[in-house]
A = this chain, B = another copy of it.
Amino acid sequence: MKILNPDTVTAPASRYAQAVVHAAGAERMVISGQLGLRPDGSLENGLEAQMERAWTNVFALMSAGGFEREHLLRATIYVTLPGQVALYREVRDRMLGGHRCANTYLEISALAAPEFLVEIEAEAVRE
């Protein structure tokens, strides 16, 4: 997995990769959008806690398939509240512990229910 941040494109505004290349021989995991739900199905309170839990869920799924955090290739983030990108970056950097992946941040009308404030959809590859 090779990270690209060439100087022909503006530097990432935060800790992510503008692009990531992976080779043909990669096992790939595709992950459904993860919400701020605990394993018992209850919902975390507030955006920050929901963000942390959604990341925890992404990593729990990766772990269940034998993937490590460093195998995370891409994450697309959907947030229903306006102006939350700074919080998103802070939580992501804390949860990713220095790993960088491709990232797209979007503000969306709603998720599957009004109480869901964030959803993280992701994929991982293991070469």
Interchain CB contact under 8 A, A19 and B102? no
Q: Is A45 in the interface zone, CB < 8 Å from B?
A: no
> How many subunits of this chain does the assembly comprise?
3
Interchain CA distance A32-B37 in the complex, whole Å: 26
Provided the pairs A61-B6, A103-B32 are in contact, do residues A24 and B24 lie with their beta carbons within 8 angstroms?
A: yes
Q: Is A110 in the interface zone, CB < 8 Å from B?
A: yes
Quick one: which of B17, B27, B39, B107 contacts A9, CB cutoff 8 A? Answer: B39
**Can you list, as one digit per residue, whether each of A27-70 has a CB less than 8 Å from chain B (1) or not (0)?**
11111111001111100000000000000010011111100000
Quick one: which of B61, B85, B102 contacts A32, CB cutoff 8 A? Answer: B102
Q: CB within 8 Å of B: which of A84-114? A: 85, 102-113
Interface bin, chain A: 35 or more
Interchain nearest-CB distance for A34 vs B (Å): 7
Q: CB within 8 Å of B: which of A1-39? A: 2, 4, 6-13, 16-34, 37-39
Chain A contact residues, CB within 8 Å of chain B: 2, 4, 6-13, 16-34, 37-41, 57, 60-65, 73-74, 76, 78, 82, 85, 102-113, 119, 121, 123
